[in-house]
Structure 1
Amino acid sequence: MKNVSLDDLDHVDRAVLPLGTDYPPGQVLDWHEHRRAQFLYGATGVMVVDTPQGTWTVPPERAVLIPATTRHRVRMLEVSTRSLYIEPDAVPWWPGTCTVVDVPPLLRELLLTAVEFQADYGLAGREGCVVALLLHEIAALTPLPFHVAIPAAPDLAAICRAYLADPDAGVTNAEWAARTAMSERAFTRRFRAETGESPAVWRTRARLLAAVPLLRTSSVTEVSGRLGYASPAALTAAFTRAFGMPPSRFTTSGAIRREQS
């Protein structure tokens, strides 16, 4: 089922509804929520998923698990998705917050197969087995750290979202503290209480997440300069330390090499 609205199918008596959708570049799915849990896989492009609690950046060929009734917004950057909309009772093990995961080859092929099914696909036989295996494969996935928390306090949340939109390597804790009319020490203590991280650590991760969509169209050298790193090697070291893989994995040339291997 491709480019079909979930609203047209949500009534169908199936615990899992596979849907494929192609989005124009830069499309934003504004704040919304689903009754079902969602497994959102980007077969191409990069997705940025916002909730009131955080921001999750989904690199190409990865997915995000979105809990049922979670209010969220998605920015699509040249994305073709394969989604599973799942009745919550069918996945009691589903995470309580959004979670980015890798998508191994078997799971990817199962998703590509499932979106060709009719909405009322047969529960017995091949189609039912494919859907059952999909859930088994998803349950075995390991989370990836492509996210930052967003504070609940509106003033801190506004500062964080503004930084995510335009990361600036020169910003200091003192500048952020001044914007909230607090001392630097009090601000840092409050920020850590809300996010679990110091402002400096949070900004470092936010800048690295900002690299992911930029790497779709720019080289590691270009991205390192744009984000204020001293050299491509500095960006590569920080990115690899945070995410366990080099930024070159997400460039166009890196994608070509993976396809050829």
Structure 2
Amino acid sequence: MPSLPIDAVDHLPRPIIALGRSYPDGHVIEPHRHRRGQLISGATGVIVLATSEGRWVMPPQRGMWIPPAVEHRVHTVGAVSMQSLYLEPEAVPDLPAHCQVVGISPFLRALMSEALELPLAYDLTGRSGALMELIGHEMRRLPSLPLSLPYPAHGALAARCRLFVQRPEIHETIDDWSGSLGMSRRGFTRLFRRETGLSFVAWRQQACLLSAMPRLAAGEAVTTVAMDLGYENPAAFTIMFKRAFGRSPLAYLGLRNGAPAAALRGA
């Protein structure tokens, strides 16, 4: 598995370059951007990605799509063994223009593993070229997962959202926020939905649930995380989590019985 920064091999005339890197728990990659698009996959650990537009949380066995030239910051929770495909901007048409957490099927995961075994300057004809072409076809079918938190562009509201993400609390209200911003309740709710595409209540819930994932992946108890977020009890938190993501927190993160859940790979 080649363990090189993309800048060292970006010049290679290949539509897709496969690279692998390992990062320790708590590693931070400061804001940067790539000329190529990037598809990340990781079997363990959680990746938290932030841009000026929002925040994304990638649990184990999922993937992350980062379009070309998007500045982003990365933070790892738990040791992460990362597989990345770097794509020339026009290599695979019609990929999303914004960052997304995506499902990675077992088939695509196997293709990525095979790609990592190829020479960096692989033969564009024959099996190697066909493998990369097949990867491109599979990437057009990546399902988007609801693991993003949009940030508004409005300056004061964006600052308030970022402050909330640092210490989320499920019981903060529209009146709390509108008052702090010097706005009427009606004006605030209209602005919030226009800027984020979500109601305040839906955004607040998403912020709380996404903030919980890295903490749970790091080994904190569900009870501790739930109470810190302001839920009345762990059961209330778990019910809300299951409504949003279809599984209990530990099952969704592959932590049930201390082992990754194989069923999560395409979830």
**Under TM normalisation by the shorter chain, which class is it?**
over 0.9
Deviation at 1:259, TM superposition (A): 4.9
Residue matched to 2:151: 150
SS in 2 for 1:89: coil
Q: Give RMSD over aligned pairs.
A: 2.0
Q: What percentage of residue pairs aligned between the two structures are identical?
A: 42
Determine whether 1:175 maps to 2:176. yes
Deviations 1:148-170 (A, max 9, x none): 11000121111111211211223
Q: 1:35 to 1:260 in 2, by over 3 A?
A: closer
Deviations 1:187-237 (A, max 9, x none): 222112111222222111110111211221123333322322223322222
AA at the equivalent of 1:258: A
Whether the 8 Å contact between 2:60 and 2:254 is mirrored in structure 1 is no
Q: 1:63 to 1:129 in 2, by over 3 A?
A: same
Deviation at 1:77, TM superposition (A): 1.6
Query: TM-score by structure 1 length?
Result: 0.92
Alpha-carbon distance between aligned partners in 2 of 1:204 and 1:119, rounded to the nearest angstrom: 43
Residue matched to 2:71: 71
Q: 1:205 to 1:39 in 2, by over 3 A?
A: same
Residue matched to 1:235: 237
Whether the 8 Å contact between 1:219 and 1:251 is mirrored in structure 2 is no
Whether the 8 Å contact between 2:255 and 2:261 is mirrored in structure 1 is no
User: Superposition pairs for residues 94-133 of structure 1, below 5 Å?
Assistant: 94-133=95-134
Alpha-carbon distance between aligned partners in 1 of 2:56 and 2:262, rounded to the nearest angstrom: 25
Q: 1:162 to 1:251 in 2, by over 3 A?
A: farther
AA at the equivalent of 1:218: E
Ranges of 4+ aligned residues in structure 1 off by more than 4 Å: none
Residue matched to 2:7: 7
How many pairs does the alignment contain?
261
Residue matched to 2:35: 35
Residue matched to 1:192: 193
SS in 2 for 1:41: strand
Unaligned runs of 5+ in 1: none
Whether the 8 Å contact between 2:254 and 2:260 is mirrored in structure 1 is no
Q: 1:221 to 1:156 in 2, by over 3 A?
A: same
Q: 1:174 to 1:219 in 2, by over 3 A?
A: same
Higher relative contact order (CA 8 A, sep 6+): 2
Deviations 1:100-140 (A, max 9, x none): 11112121122222223221012223322322222222211
SS in 1 for 2:50: strand
Alpha-carbon distance between aligned partners in 2 of 1:254 and 1:106, rounded to the nearest angstrom: 26
| Aligned partner (choices 238, 244, 256) of residue 253 of structure 1 | 256
